[in-house]
Amino acid sequence: MSSTLRLLAQHGRFVLVIGLVAGLALPQVASAMRPWLGELVLLLLFLNAFRVGLPSAMQVFKHAQETLPIIFTYQLVMPLLCLALFFFFGSANSSVAIALVLMLSAPPVTGSPNMSIMLGHPPDHAFRLLLLGTLLMPLTLIPIFWLSPELGSLITAVKTSLRLGLSICTVVAVAFILRAAFRPQMEMLELQALDGITSITLAIIVIGLMSAVTPALSNEPLQLARWMLVATGANFGMQILAYWGQKSFALSKNISPNALVAGNRNIALFLVATNATQSEEFLMFLGCYQIPMYLTPIIMRPLLGNRSKPDL
């Protein structure tokens, strides 16, 4: 079993594609999983926190000088600029504005350390961004929800932040406690097997996230095409923009992981805390967003991949 899991970890980017195909081919299964998406997202966060453990996670504070500016730029400055742009054009209430603002407000996707591994980079920096971004999300979210007319008042923003913060802290704390109690030291083979489990979990989650896509293929193909264009442009566009921006100005030594998380955000976390994500349009965007996300380790490999490591 462990050898199979390690094999799945080594070829994780193809496991993600299988999950995408299954989500499109099994609409009934996708619909059945839809009510459990919030719990599955938290499970994925648990697996990543368990893999890293508290001692390694504490390293995030040693790198705060590098990671904090990135987190605040990605999760606060960029969504506020996006919101200001939509206000300027008088479309801050549109479904596209809500989707893009929520996307930019979200922390790095929970699978970003695994994607970093698939691209040939260590997972450490991606996990630091994931952990710090997720922990700070309840704070960075308040001004965005407060200023966005469709997301709610200041009270709604605070309630949403508290709900998210409590869920995230509880899951991460339980993962750290269990890791310390049962497996304080993990060998490389065990870590690889856990990576295999995480790849499977990612593939399962995407099946549920595609629940709004398959019906739209036959019922609303033009609307689906619009959302696919928005999701693909936002995801790949942010990765390319972040990569070339950092490379041009030599802003960081971790250009590829920083670019990876710029476009791949954990929008599904909002399923845990806000009603703004329950509309069919947002769920359609969320489903479309999974396609460029799960194809990132393949499509973006020429740009973000570690060329010193051979392809798996």
Q: Could you report the per-residue pLDDT of 219-266, keeping only the tens digit for each?
A: 889 999 999 999 999 999 999 999 999 888 877 788 999 999 999 998
Residue 20 clears pLDDT 80, i.e. is over it: yes
Helix axes 188-209, 280-299, angle to 10 degrees: 140
pLDDT at 274: 62
More confident residue, 189 or 229: 229
pTM confidence score: 0.84
Determine the average pLDDT of the residues in 189-203: 85
* CA–CA distances in Å: residue 174 to residues 48, 114, 139: 12, 21, 22
pLDDT at 307: 63
Residue 194 clears pLDDT 80, i.e. is over it: yes
Mean pLDDT, the chain, integer: 85
Place of tokens 């971790």: 254
Q: Could you report the per-residue pLDDT of 274-295, keeping only the tens digit for each?
A: 666 667 788 889 889 988 998 8
Residue 79 clears pLDDT 70, i.e. is over it: yes
Residue 28 clears pLDDT 80, i.e. is over it: yes
| Direct distance between the N- and C-terminal alpha carbons of the chain, in angstroms, rounded to an integer | 20
Residue 76 clears pLDDT 80, i.e. is over it: yes
Determine the average pLDDT of the residues in 124-134: 87
pLDDT at 8: 75
Q: Where are the alpha helices (DSSP H) in 148-264?
A: 154-182, 188-209, 213-219, 221-249, 255-263
pLDDT at 181: 93
Going by pLDDT thresholds of 50, 70 and 90, the confidence category of residue 309 is low
DSSP state string for 50-69: HHHHHHHHGGGGTTHHHHHH
Pick the most confident of 53-62, 107-116, 286-295.
Answer: 286-295
